[in-house]
Structure 1
Amino acid sequence: MDSHFLQLDNRKGQDRTMHSLNTEQIQQIIPHRHPFLLIDQIEDYVPGEYAVGYKGVSYHEDFFRGHFPQKAVMPGVLILEALAQTGAVAILSLPENRGKIAFFGGVQKCRFKGMVLPGDRLRLETRIIKRKGPVGVGEATASVDGKTVVTAELTFMVGE
């Protein structure tokens, strides 16, 4: 199911297998579908720990028709949603969470530092930093061309 390649794991000083997912594989883990699936690809993930994904931002996205007609900018709340979906891949890929849903519980320490425009390739990274039962927190960063555009802590709850 996953495609694999090796990367040096600096924490342990040894090789580890990276896991990538295409859109169809992402949809096997999280319940989101078009037009609300906001990640195109997962470059790497470790269940319960983190996920790194991408969204190719096209001028043809429905939200650009109204946000804003004179200056197309991806809404910040949709960038947060894309980060949450990326974190959901990490948490819902755990065997005990398969088939469940990760619900938003809150957003803390959110900072918008740049705009996401048509043609951008949005990099999404969410690391799970706390978990207790069905509740957890993810540290999330979105960037374009290496420049951070959003940071936040996302609280989630896993449910049926």
Structure 2
Amino acid sequence: MLNIDEIQKILPHRPPFLLVDRVEELEPGIRATGKKCVTMNEPYFQGHFPGKAVMPGVIILESLAQVGAICMLTVEGNEGKIVLFGGMDKVRFKRQVLPGDVLTLKVEISKSKGNFGVGTAIAYVDDQVAVEATLTFAIE
């Protein structure tokens, strides 16, 4: 549904911190599904970990947050704004993410009032849950 050029028109992030390659499903303000193709070329693999490349959990959470931001920034009136983390709850890491994996990033907004909201976020590799969390955000 959205390619990388369209994503860059919505998010202010740029490489190496743009962590969503495409968006496959989008219901503005309700839910979004994105993809992140994990490659050995990611800059964090230089130090995390030498000899055993594992995608940092905080980077997976940021990838999920960017999908959530796309979901909220495509709501009429939110164009050009920035979505910031307000908090993370119930974070669970269930599977390592390695170079060559493709992350499916699903975010569903469960509450939204004014400039604040909460979303349920789950990252998958194939059909396995890698990370799940409840993310709180603020739109600025």
Settle same-fold status: TM greater than 0.5. Answer: yes
Gap regions ≥5 residues in structure 1: 1-19
Verify: 1:156 aligned to 2:137, yes or no: yes
Deviations along 1:87-122, whole A, 9 cap, x unmatched? 000000011100000000000000000000000001
2:105 aligns to what? Answer: 124
- Which of the pair is proportionally richer in strand? 1
TM-score if structure 1 supplies the norm length?
0.87
Take 1:93 and 1:29, find their aligned partners in 2: how far apart are those partners?
7
Match of 1:95 among 64, 69, 76: 76
In the alignment, the residues of structure 1 paired with residue 24 and residue 70 of structure 2 have an alpha-carbon distance, to the nearest angstrom, of 11
Answer with 1 or 2: which has the greater Rg: 1
Q: Please list every run of at least 4 consecutive aligned residues from structure 1 whose deviation after the TM superposition is greater than 3 angstroms.
A: none
Cα deviation digits, residues 26-49 of structure 1 (max 9, x gap)? 111111111100000000101000
Name the CA distance, whole Å, in 1 between partners of 2:6 and 2:127: 26
SS at match of 2:29: coil
Q: Report the number of matched residues.
A: 140
Query: What is the CA RMSD across the aligned residues, in angstroms?
Result: 0.5
- Residue of structure 2 in register with 1:60 after alignment: 41
Q: Over residues 99-154 of structure 1, what are the superposed CA-to-partner deviations in whole Å (9 max), with x where a residue is unaligned?
A: 00000000000000000000000100001100111000010000001100000000
TM-score (norm 2): 0.99
2:64 equivalent in structure 1? 83
Residue 43, structure 1, aligned to residue 24, structure 2 = yes
**Secondary structure at the counterpart of residue 33 of structure 1:** coil
1:73 and 2:66 aligned: no
In structure 2, what is the equivalent of residue 8 of structure 1? none
Alignment partners' CA distance in 1, 2:127 and 2:44: 24
In structure 2, runs of 5+ residues without a counterpart are none
